Copies of this chain bind each other. A is one copy, B any other.
Amino acid sequence: MYRDALREAIDEEMERDSSVFIIGEGIAERGGSYKVTEGLLDKYGANRVRDTPIAEAGMIGVGVGAAIAGARPIVEILYVDFAMLGMDMLVNQAAKFRLMTGGDGRVPFVMRTQGGTGGGVAAQHSQSLEALFYHIPGLQVVMPSVPADAKGLLKYALRQQDPVMFLEHKHLYMTKGMVPDGEHVIEFGKGDIKRPGKDVTIIAWSNMIPRALEAAAKLAEEGIDAEVLDPRTLVPLDKAMILTSVAKTNRVVIAQEAVRRGGVASDIASIIQAEAFYDLDAPIEIVAGLNIPVPFNLELEKASVPQVDDIVVAARRTLHAKSFALAAE
């Protein structure tokens, strides 16, 4: 399971490198709200596995300081929403330290947290905030969708020199998937084709990957062969893989759970239209959350973020646009 894959990654890296440590709320004895850190306290002791008070700004700041001083902190923030309390430390310290020191100062800091909707936890516990980190130069943004990626990317994160926002999804912790045996490390900036196809490229990440795959299966029934591309890391972004896919399919859907306005999907769309303008046979379709906070009511919660059918409809639209364009020629 996704959560086990994460635990394995932490465990292996703590084993390998004694400067790796983890702090967060209820992560020690209790093993974390999502059980990712279960057993680590017993294995590595209270020096390297520590509970904190409810002090997000403090624990992020302390993590950044420890990283500057040469340790390798993992700071677990319960919900990405709460990371807002530590934004100064992320934006003004972690992300800027390298530039401000002329290149010398590195910040091998990993913030693990989780976002997204799920089960009526309402507006302050349901956000997808990757776009905020994405916009800050110096922060790497990782959003694994499957257990194998979760493990490989987290292991890589813990060998990086620069800050990593490692964003999990509350829906994914219990999802299953194969995880390769042995040393399994995935470099940042390498996307993954989760399903090859030739008619339309669906770009998605995190919890949108299972939905995109379901959508692709439905589209296949209609004879539409969708390629599902998971960038896995948003910063750095595998532009080459995206452009190659677009050159093949000429049609793009980008699906994100985050709200539409100013999301990462917009940025990817802006890159594609700039660099593959003449490849596009239809407008890029963005399937995204509504521009409103997530409601408590479960039906409304569901309506506030993309579902499988939204992706299907958008993909279809990119193909109709083509027929329309052909007809008009």
**A interface, CB within 8 angstroms of B:** 57, 81-82, 84-85, 87-88, 90-92, 95-96, 99-100, 122-124, 127, 129, 131-132, 134-135, 137-138, 235, 258-259, 261-267, 269-271, 273-275, 277-278, 280, 282-286, 290-293, 295, 321, 325
Contacts and interface: CB of A to CB of B under 8 A. Distances in A.
A122 B293 CA distance: 34
A292 B261 contact: no
A299 B209 CA distance: 44
A102 to B, nearest CB: 9
B293 A95 contact: yes
A164 B285 CA distance: 30
Contact of A283 (B96, B262, B274): B274
Contacts of A99: 123, 292-293, 295
Contacts of A88: 82, 84-85, 87
A297 to B, nearest CB: 10
B292 A285 contact: no
A134 to B, nearest CB: 4
Given A92-B81, A99-B123, A262 B138 contact: no
B81 A124 contact: no
A124 B90 CA distance: 12
B84 A92 contact: yes
A100 B292 CA distance: 10
Closest 6 A-B residue pairs measured CB to CB?
A135-B262, A266-B270, A277-B283, A87-B87, A269-B270, A266-B267
